[in-house]
């Protein structure tokens, strides 16, 4: 699992688009039907479809509520306040990345949005690294629990997690071999 696959999976998330064309016939996809489309009236489609339509100038993408600047500020504040990871919407980083890349003109104050998303990512990354180092530098326990990890973060931290697993084995072995 890498970032690209995460993004692929995130592409199935539904998002609102405002079509620029009208089509009364629904489109039958494996994952379900989308449409019919009426120009100017929002409808839900998978993100990958939205991006395809956007590239053809057939729609405007409506940003998710949590991607508005005010909401991002709240998320950032929440991330700063919590010792652990704050809860984020599913596929937060993947969706943000896709939309910032392909629907720049539909995002108000896109630079500020990008900056806040980057800040959130950095904060979480720092927390993950710190906790991993803290875990790896001890030999007291072989279990740790970390909630609210995003799929992208999991895939990024795969090497670290492998190391943690090895560490767990070593600690376990140590405990086994240590005479009581």
Per CB under 8 A, which region of 2-10, 82-90, 107-115, 147-155 contacts another protein?
A: 107-115
Does 26 bind another protein (CB under 8 A)? Our answer is no
Please, which residue, 21 or 77, has the CB nearer to another protein? 21
Shortest spacing between CB 43 and another protein, in angstroms: 9
Q: Give the angle subtended at the CA of 95 by the CAs of 79 and 12, to the nearest 5°.
A: 130
103: how many CB neighbours lie within 10 A of its CB? 22
Does 106 bind another protein (CB under 8 A)? Our answer is yes
Residue 162 host element (H or E): helix 158-177
Does 18 bind another protein (CB under 8 A)? Our answer is yes
Does 39 bind another protein (CB under 8 A)? Our answer is yes
Hey, CA dihedral for 41, 44, 49, 54, is it positive or negative?
Answer: positive
Does 25 bind another protein (CB under 8 A)? Our answer is no
CA distance 96 to 112: 13
Does 117 bind another protein (CB under 8 A)? Our answer is no
CA distance 100 to 53: 15
Find all residues with CB under 8 Å of 33, minimum gap 6, and list them: 26, 27
Q: Which of residues 41-60 bind another protein (CB under 8 A)?
A: 41-42, 57-58, 60
Does 71 bind another protein (CB under 8 A)? Our answer is no
Helix (H, G, I), strand (E, B) or coil at 49: helix
Residue numbers at the binding site for another protein (CB under 8 A): 16, 18, 20-22, 39-42, 57-58, 60-63, 106-109
């Amino acid at each position: 699992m890498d970032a690209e696959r995460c993004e692929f999976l995130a592409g199935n998330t539904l998002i609102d688009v405002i079509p620029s064309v009208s089509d009364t016939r629904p489109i039958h996809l494996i994952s379900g039907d989308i449409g019919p489309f009426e120009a100017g009236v929002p409808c839900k489609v998978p993100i990958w479809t939205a991006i395809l339509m956007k590239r053809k100038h057939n729609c405007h993408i409506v940003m998710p509520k949590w991607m508005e600047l005010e909401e991002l500020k709240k998320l950032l504040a929440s991330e700063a306040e919590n010792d652990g990871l704050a809860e984020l919407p599913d596929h937060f980083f993947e969706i943000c990345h896709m939309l910032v890349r392909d629907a720049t003109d539909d995002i108000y104050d896109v630079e500020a949005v990008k900056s806040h998303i980057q800040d959130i990512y950095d904060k979480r990354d720092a927390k993950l690294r710190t906790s991993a180092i803290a875990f790896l530098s001890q030999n007291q326990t072989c279990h740790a629990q970390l909630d609210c990890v995003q799929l992208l973060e999991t895939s990024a931290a795969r090497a670290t997690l492998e190391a943690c697993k090895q560490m767990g084995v070593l600690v376990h072995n140590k405990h086994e071999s240590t005479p009581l």
